[in-house]
Amino acid sequence: MEPSAPVGRVHSFQSLGAVDGPGLRYVVFFQGCPLRCAYCHNPDTWAFDGGQQVTVEDVLQKVRRCAPYIKKKGGVTLTGGEPLAQSGFAAALLAALSAEGYHTALDTSGAAGLETAAKVLEHTDLVLADLKFTTEEDYRRNTGGSLAHTLEFLDLCRKMGRPVWLRHVVVPGLNDGPAAAERLAALAKRYENVEKVELLPFRNLCIEKYAALGIPFPLQNTPPAGEEHLRPFYAALGHLAAPAK
């Protein structure tokens, strides 16, 4: 499933992103994801044979064009899809970026083997960790993945001393409410390396993508999350809570 490093498959690039880590960032969207999250906004990144094949040098050439804008206070973020599903390429790319002085961030659900994940984290300055649900049952039902595995990945981040921003999508009727907020806060507070929790209100702006791909969107009839859905999370998380950018 994973291409031989240092060649990988990338869905797309964003030259000056402002929502995937600190400052202005060059964002690399990896192709391929093992999860099927009910609220996923990027179903076009799921297939491992999609996107375009690129080398580390191909990406570096694109990033260098933005260096004057991103090097001082920003950096480069790998997202997806799931970057850890192409761990060899992700590790090689992050190592090359670090060598050229870029701040690096990894946006991931942790859905990969811990040994390969550790190699990627060696050159990662910041982890944007997607903590999707707070019970094993909800996690498996709505993503096909495992909360236990995600927590093992967070344990690895702590062991390696990597700062973490947790990201959590709040979906009305699915993972909202005071009980869910308290569970999220309890998990976040277990990790001293978690600097903040970014709360992302659910939106259904991806419906047209699903329609174009001929894929039913599981949450088509779910209303967008409002301030009333986020309020219990702010209360439970206290100083850790951060609104989406």
**Residue 139 in tokens:** 């996690």
pLDDT-derived band at 112, boundaries 50, 70, 90? confident
Question: Given this model, what pLDDT does residue 3 score?
Answer: 42
pTM: 0.94
Average pLDDT over residues 95-108: 98
In residues, how long is the chain? 245
Nearest C-alpha neighbor of 37 from the set 132, 135, 158, 150: 132
**Residue 45 in tokens:** 């990144």
pLDDT-derived band at 243, boundaries 50, 70, 90? confident
Per-residue pLDDT of 140-173, as tens digits, reads 999 999 999 999 999 999 999 999 999 999 999 9
| Peptide bond connecting 81 to the previous residue in cis, omega within 30 degrees of 0 | yes
**Residue 172: CB partners within 8 Å, gap ≥ 6?**
202, 222, 223, 224, 225, 229
Is 222 a residue whose pLDDT tops 80? yes
Cβ proximity of 196 and 174 under 8 Å = no
**Residue 139: CB partners within 8 Å, gap ≥ 6?**
132, 133, 145, 146, 147, 150
Question: Given this model, what pLDDT does residue 180 score?
Answer: 97
Looking at the DSSP bridge assignments, the partners of residue 231 are none
DSSP conformation letters of 16-50: EESSSSSSSEEEEEES--S---TT-S-GGG--TT-
Average pLDDT over residues 15-34: 95
Question: Given this model, what pLDDT does residue 245 score?
Answer: 63
Nearest C-alpha neighbor of 155 from the set 186, 122, 191, 106: 191
